[in-house]
Amino acid sequence: MQFKEVIGHSELKQQLIKTVQKNKISHAQLFSGKEGAGHFPLAVAYAQYVLCKDQQENDSCGECPSCKKTAQFIHPDLHFSFPVHLNKTNKVQCSDDLLNEFRKMLLEDIYIGKNHWYNTMGNQNKQGVIGVTESENIVKKLSLKSFEGGYKIMIMWLPESMNLAAGNKLLKIIEEPPPNTLYLLITDDKEKIIKTILSRTQPLNFSQVNEEEVKQYISNKFSLNSEEATHFAKLADGNLHKVRMMLEHHEEKQEYLKEFAIWMRLCYSRNITETIDWVDKVNGMGREVQKDFLLFCLEMFRQSFIGHYTNGQLLALSQKQQQFLSKFAIYIHHNNIADFHEEINKAYYHLERNANPKVLFLDLSLKIFSLLKRSTDVS
């Protein structure tokens, strides 16, 4: 990763370059910003510049063996630490146990996000941990001589997930590091970092990428016209990880919206025969798609309800979603939103536990019949 590949942050790039050129590299630095702000990519670009064998005035050369290895995240003097789901059964205790999976994620898109990584490990709702075993490994790695005679660099992503015992084991080596050792801590929430660790780092604060830079990034990376790029740049709110997630799932969300609209119309009209036909179609989707569709439905109900309090301004939605919800939202209100939420969550729970999808969606449809009827009883 070169500096020129990182979106925005021109002043921070120059600041980091000067620390190398003037030989004033602080041994422990904290890159702090919101998810998708670019602090992780810039840390990698910084590491590549430090390790580069032919440093240019404003960037790494990108061509030397060191740069090529760093670009693939396999440089022997560049180490990564990140939260994992501790699992004795699968023998997962530290970053090294999932390093291949982490590298694969970085190669797909370096603008990474916590929930995406947790989902990659198998459970988006389970918190990852940087634990004691991880700290012990870090101390061992950084106590050894560098392979290529230069800096040893540790990039720790999400240090706020470090537990107290792990933090205590790192204090000494952070405070009194071996020569030519660089720690780069990349946080989305510095207030949650252990205070003794936080106090030993030099902070570097990242603002969100501005809308115009996000739009340019979208235009260059994805096949979208100017209007579409502008729309997604607004939705992204400076989060370049969110951009990727939105665009990756854009087509399927459009299909979900179509099915949601059909389903709600059938439920409102109480058309049993066509509802059964619709359930037959959904039954052929596959369980994971059905689960994702239920989560989409849950979000549509939530956004419909929120719209009553925001004058219909739902900035997290596509234009087609907003157009549909502007008409549908009148049927979702304080008398039925809690029940919609409960029934969709119950259906998701049972679907995860291998309930018959055909029976489940038909039963859920009958319940939605009743809940939508309740909307017509509200004056």
The rounded distance, in Å, linking the Cα atoms of 151 and 153 is 6
Query: CA angle, corner 171, sides to 165 and 176, nearest 5?
Result: 160
The rounded distance, in Å, linking the Cα atoms of 87 and 31 is 29
pLDDT value of residue 228: 77
What mean pLDDT value characterizes the chain?
A: 90
User: In the chain, where are the structural domains located?
Assistant: 3-207, 213-248, 250-376
Give the residue among 246, 271, 255 at the shortest CA–CA distance from 320.
Answer: 255
Q: Give the pLDDT confidence of 233-291 residue by residue, as tens digits.
A: 887 888 999 888 777 766 667 788 889 999 999 999 999 999 999 999 999 888 878 88
Task: Map 101-132 to HEC letters.
Answer: HHHHHHHHCCCCCHHHHHHHHCCCCCCCEECH
Give the residue among 161, 107, 170 at the shortest CA–CA distance from 138.
Answer: 170
pLDDT value of residue 256: 86
The rounded distance, in Å, linking the Cα atoms of 268 and 224 is 36
Mean pLDDT throughout 61-71?
A: 97
Question: What is the value of pTM for the model shown?
Answer: 0.73
Report the CATH number of the 3-207 domain.
Answer: 3.40.50.300
- Topology of domain 250-376, per CATH? Zinc Finger, Delta Prime; domain 3 (1.20.272)
pLDDT value of residue 301: 92
Half-sphere exposure of 172 (CA within 13 A, CB side): 7
The rounded distance, in Å, linking the Cα atoms of 27 and 201 is 8
Q: Give the pLDDT confidence of 300-327 residue by residue, as tens digits.
A: 898 888 876 655 454 456 667 778 888 8
